[in-house]
Amino acid sequence: GAQAVGWSERRAAPATDGSAHRRGIGFAPVVYGTGSEDSDAEVEILPDGSLAVLSGVSDVGVGTRTVLAMIAAEVLGVPYDAVGVRSGDTELPYAPMQAGSRITFSLGWAVKAAAEDARAQLLHLAEPLLETPAAELEIKAGRVRARGAQDDGYTLAEVFRFAKRTTHLVGHGHSTQKGKPALQGFGAHFAEVEVDVETGAVVVLRYVAAHDVGRVLNAHGVENQIYGLGQTLGQALMEDLIFDDATGLTLNADLSQYLMPTLKDFPPVHAIMVETNDPLGPFGAKGIGEPPLPPVLPAIANAIYNAIGVRFNTLPITRDVILQA
């Protein structure tokens, strides 16, 4: 992160040349624990060879269904697009709420266990067809065969047909993460800003966010989670509820007066995914939903200090606040 932002070339003290536009670079670290909660999941293998993950979890747009399908596909040795996901219903197996960066960590373990159970049942079903003990069978590219065999083996549907089974297999998985050591995520954020000392305007020119994400299961999803830091940009520079002291009423209760960042305010973000392999997470993964948020505020405040030499200990750091400093 430091190399990407040019930290070694950063000016140590604020500019003193009298220019109106002054630039600064700020840094802030983050250590964030992943939430954990008991979870249940089921994985079905249907007679036609299709598969489904069943979970009561609600996907709020962060790629939960995608990563659960990827975990099941990895365990079962099938392509990702062969796995469907049924979710968001209380009749389905229990899942924790979508918060605390806990879903991949907690529910991911339950899905992995359910997929392993379903896989064991399928390999047992395939023993007579391949005349091989289940312990010596494997599933690769959606086909069951003896380990080390050079033949194509059999599709999942062919295994069902040979066994004359017309009902689906159901693998059950449960994850108990409470009481286990906290899974910690680490990050380093860098912001470069330009401050107009005549108008108080602050522009975030670029942003670098480096995060220890464990093993990346879905690179696109992890990158988008890091981009979620944009919501904290408004908290740092503009979002502020104003109340009438006499009545207690909110004076800026609509979006025409409560200022929030637009795409024009959003800086270029360089997301750096540092892969480690933490055995506490499924396949070594860590939660990444909330860790990118806390360091944005101090990183921007430190960048403003580096630019103009003034410390701000309250938020938001608006134009008026800067001019009054």
Q: What Rg do the C-alpha atoms of the chain give, in angstroms?
A: 26
- Render pLDDT for 26-62 as a digit per residue (tens, 0 to 9): 999 999 887 777 899 999 999 999 999 999 998 887 8
| Token duo for residue 278 | 């933490």
Asked if 275 contacts 222 with a C-beta cutoff of 8 angstroms, the reply is no
282: tokens are 């499924």
Look up the CATH number of domain 2-34+182-324.
3.30.365.10
**Residue 130 and residue 90 in contact, taking contact as beta carbons nearer than 8 Å:** no
The H or E element that residue 51 is part of is: strand 51-54
What was the pLDDT predicted at 41? 95
Alpha carbon 185 to chain centroid distance? 11
Identical fold for domains 2-34+182-324 and 39-175, yes or no, is yes
What does the pLDDT average to over 179-205? 88
pLDDT at 1: 85
Q: What is the CATH number of domain 39-175?
A: 3.30.365.10
Is the pLDDT at 106 greater than 90, yes or no? no
Q: What is the pLDDT of residue 181?
A: 57
In this predicted structure, what is the pLDDT of residue 290? Answer: 87
Q: Is the pLDDT of residue 143 over 90?
A: yes
pLDDT at position 168 = 94
Domain boundaries, the chain: 2-34+182-324, 39-175
Q: Is residue 290 annotated as a catalytic residue, yes or no? A: yes
Q: What is the pLDDT of residue 182?
A: 62
pLDDT of 180 > 70? The answer is: no
Residues 244-270: what's their mean pLDDT?
A: 92
Contact between residue 250 and residue 271 where contact means Cβ atoms under 8 Å apart? no
Min mean pLDDT across 142-146, 247-251, 281-285, 315-319 is at: 281-285
Task: Kindly name the residue from 37, 44, 192, 290 that is annotated as catalytic.
Answer: 290
Q: How confident is the model at residue 289 (pLDDT cuts 50, 70, 90)?
A: confident
Nearest to 119 by CA among 217, 55, 218, 51: 51
pLDDT of residue 288: 87
Task: Please name the residue that has the structure tokens 């069943």.
Answer: 54
Per-residue tokens: 209 = 């966010």
